[in-house]
Amino acid sequence: MYLRGPVENRPQIRTGFALRVAIMGGIALAMFGVIFFRLWYLQILSGDEYVAEANNNRIREIRVVAPRGHVLDRDGEVLVENRTSLALQLNPERLPDAEASRRAELRRLGEAAGIPLRRIRREMRDQLEELPSAPVTLKKDVGYDLVYYLEENQARFPGVEVQRVFVRRYPNGTLAAHLFGQVGEIDEEELKQPEYRGLQPGDEIGKDGVEFQYDRYLRGLAGATRIQVDALGRPKGQLSLREPVPGDNLRLSIDSELQAAGEGALSARGLPGGFVAMNVHNGEVLGLGSFPSFDPTVFTRPLTQGQVDALYRDPIAAPITNRAIAGLYPTGSTMKPITSMAALNGLPDFTTSTPIYDGGSITVGDISFSNAGGAAHGTLSLTPALQVSSDVFFYTLGRDLNVDDGHGGPLQRWAFRLGLGHETGIDLPGENHGLVPTPRWRNRLYEEGLTDRPWSIGDNVNLAVGQGDLQADPLQMAVAYAAIANGGTVLRPHVGMEVVDSAGRAVQEIEPPPQRQVPVDPAFREAILSGLHDAAQVPGGTSYSVFGGFPIPVAGKTGTAERPPHGDQSWYVILAPYPDPRIVVAVTMEEGGFGVDTAAPAALQILSQYFQAPARQIGGPVVNPE
């Protein structure tokens, strides 16, 4: 039965309710649309990607460290090589999340490995602070008993791993320790540097010495092993292996036997000091050492606090300091050949034959400057003045060379030109630039209240004999003497000679160009070298008692420098063979007294090894010992 009636009498749907229904329906439709398109995106468009990610969850890539290249001496003898070591490591991401379970595991591990819990936590804190995503190395050189125990009880030690690593080995003990430097894990700041692009946390790089300087050659290229794991992360099998590429070998210019002779000469006298032996024509460093030394093996494992204090915080021994390139001292009379070059080129009226009277002392202003020991040598020209090391002769030159115009005069200019007061550019980090004092330098200190007086002529007088504020090291003096001997080539010394691959093929020849060329008049060179030869091997010379009986003709200069509050600094610099030298040797020792007593015999020991000659001394008289 149908009801009929007027339209206006039928029930009406209210407009507001209909609008709400329409809006809700639209929202629901939109939500279903979003879900549909999201499912379509995930399953259709991104399906392959997520399948790949799921597969990757079952694959682990283990980085295989590349062995570093060896460091060799000039004859191919191994100075630094690798040995394999088992390292106990923690992967913090795989340790239990619960603090109690984590603490229990770490305690069990400590008991098994003989490591206190507090040390484990300290190592975790320190290493994760520096390298947050890298494994924490707790101990190297772990024994196989511990390895077998951990493997048998793997379920009790999640996150504990034993990895094979390469550790540096030094077959010759402490020999050349200051040259090598050390290797360590790369830190976060280093990872940002372009030269380390492609490295990962946990990779090792050179941190000092030639390990740092030639790291790009020595480092090699890491490999990788891909393994399949189950849902618990346990390995099920190897999928692929990319072999690591070993680093190239570095051949140094160092002569191991000469290096040992130099280090032995320093240690026999027990005084802090340094030595350099260098080819005067190409800058190859044949030997470079410092005393006290240290065992480089200490850097192959974490340093104890006692080792840190002994290496870095002992201000007297300072064994980590390479005194050959960073020990700054007044040079004493070894400065006199440099002063000679400055006077011959900077004083118009001074020649190799210009006479200067040495009455034993000279007064400049109101200060009297005297010869060592009160000696008086009478009238001298340049060559005999160098033979007897007349202080008055060179005091006079220092007085006449003084120019108070800010940068100083010829003495400062020639000291700079020949290599003092700035880095030599040797391929070792940590070199110090030294100091050649100038009027501007001292006057600035005076204006700032850091010294009690401005520059005076007496400062130049002192500089002429290597006293006062002058600071130099053995390498700088070796470079300066070599420049005089080779006719004016200021060399850039280097310890690296060649990079070779594992098959012995040359990858890179290391032949740095010289720093500069300076004008050295052959007549000036001859007069200076003649004076140094007479000083070493003619009766009356300052080191005749040491080198008078040496079978190889040489040219050498002693130096004894005041260094308050310390005892006198002992120096000796020598060129051989005379008159056309091939090698220069520079030796200095702290508180060694006269150069003839301490530094000169050490230089004799080094040259005797180089020339395979007997190191005998004739014991003759010494005039004006220095």
Q: How far apart are CA 365 and CA 359, in angstroms?
A: 17
Choice between 274 and 110, residue whose per-residue pLDDT is larger: 274
Q: What is the DSSP letter of 422?
A: S
Residue-wise pLDDT for 574-599, tens only, equals 999 999 999 999 999 999 999 999 99
Q: How far apart are CA 274 and CA 326, in angstroms?
A: 9
In which element (H, E) is residue 104 found?
Answer: helix 99-113
Pick the range with the lowest mean pLDDT from 70-79, 98-107, 337-346, 582-591: 98-107
Residue-wise pLDDT for 498-512, tens only, equals 999 988 889 999 999
User: Interior CA angle at 160 toward 154 and 162, to 5°?
Assistant: 95
Residue-wise pLDDT for 358-403, tens only, equals 999 999 988 999 998 889 999 999 999 999 999 999 999 999 999 9
Read off the pLDDT of each residue in 251-267 and give the average, rounded to a whole number.
Answer: 97
- Would you say 323 and 473 are in contact if contact means Cβ atoms under 8 Å apart? yes
pLDDT category at 95 given cuts 50, 70, 90 is confident
Q: Phi/psi at 589 (nearest 5 deg)?
A: -140, 135
pLDDT, residue 305, reads 83
Choice between 232 and 281, residue whose per-residue pLDDT is larger: 281
In angstroms, how far is the first alpha carbon of the chain from the final one? 140
Q: What is the pTM of this model?
A: 0.84
SS3 358: strand
Q: Phi/psi at 387 (nearest 5 deg)?
A: -60, -45
Read off the pLDDT of each residue in 439-458 and give the average, rounded to a whole number.
Answer: 95
- Would you say 361 and 340 are in contact if contact means Cβ atoms under 8 Å apart? no
Q: Which residues pair with 560 in a beta bridge?
A: 570
pLDDT, residue 270, reads 94
Q: Which residue ranges make up each domain of the chain?
A: 62-252, 256-306+322-611
- Would you say 224 and 64 are in contact if contact means Cβ atoms under 8 Å apart? yes
Query: Domain 256-306+322-611 is in which class?
Result: alpha beta
In which element (H, E) is residue 394 found?
Answer: helix 391-400
Q: 363: alpha, beta or left, given left = phi > 0 and alpha = psi -120 to 50?
A: beta
Going edge to edge, which strands form the sheet with 583-589?
285-291, 273-279, 583-589, 566-576, 555-563
Q: How far apart are CA 626 and CA 624, in angstroms?
A: 6
- Would you say 550 and 613 are in contact if contact means Cβ atoms under 8 Å apart? yes
pLDDT, residue 3, reads 43
Pick the range with the lowest mean pLDDT from 116-120, 130-134, 436-440, 469-473: 130-134
The chain-wide mean pLDDT, for the chain, equals 88
Q: Classify domain 62-252 at the CATH topology level.
A: Penicillin-binding protein 2a (Domain 2) (3.90.1310)
pLDDT, residue 9, reads 54
List CB contacts of 454: < 8 A, sequence separation 6 or more: 439, 442, 443, 446
Residue-wise pLDDT for 33-69, tens only, equals 777 766 666 666 555 665 555 555 566 666 677 899 9
- Would you say 504 and 586 are in contact if contact means Cβ atoms under 8 Å apart? no
pLDDT greater than 90 at residue 514 = yes
**Distance of alpha carbon 285 from the chain centroid:** 15
Instruction: Give, in order, the Cα–Cα distances in Å from 37 to each of 29, 42, 50, 214.
Output: 12, 9, 17, 56
Q: How far apart are CA 474 and CA 271, in angstroms?
A: 15
Instruction: Give, in order, the Cα–Cα distances in Å from 516 to each of 418, 488, 489, 538.
Output: 9, 8, 6, 34
Residue in the structure block whose two tokens are 């006269």? 594
Q: 367: alpha, beta or left, given left = phi > 0 and alpha = psi -120 to 50?
A: beta
pLDDT greater than 60 at residue 232 = no
Read off the pLDDT of each residue in 332-341 and give the average, rounded to a whole number.
Answer: 98
Three-state secondary structure string covering 502-541: CCCCEEEECCCCCCEECCCCHHHHHHHHHHHHHHHHCCCC
| Residue 48 token pair | 């392959």
Read off the pLDDT of each residue in 337-356 and give the average, rounded to a whole number.
Answer: 97
| Residue 457 token pair | 């002529």
Q: What is the DSSP letter of 26?
A: H
Amino acid at 577: P
Read off the pLDDT of each residue in 526-535 and give the average, rounded to a whole number.
Answer: 98
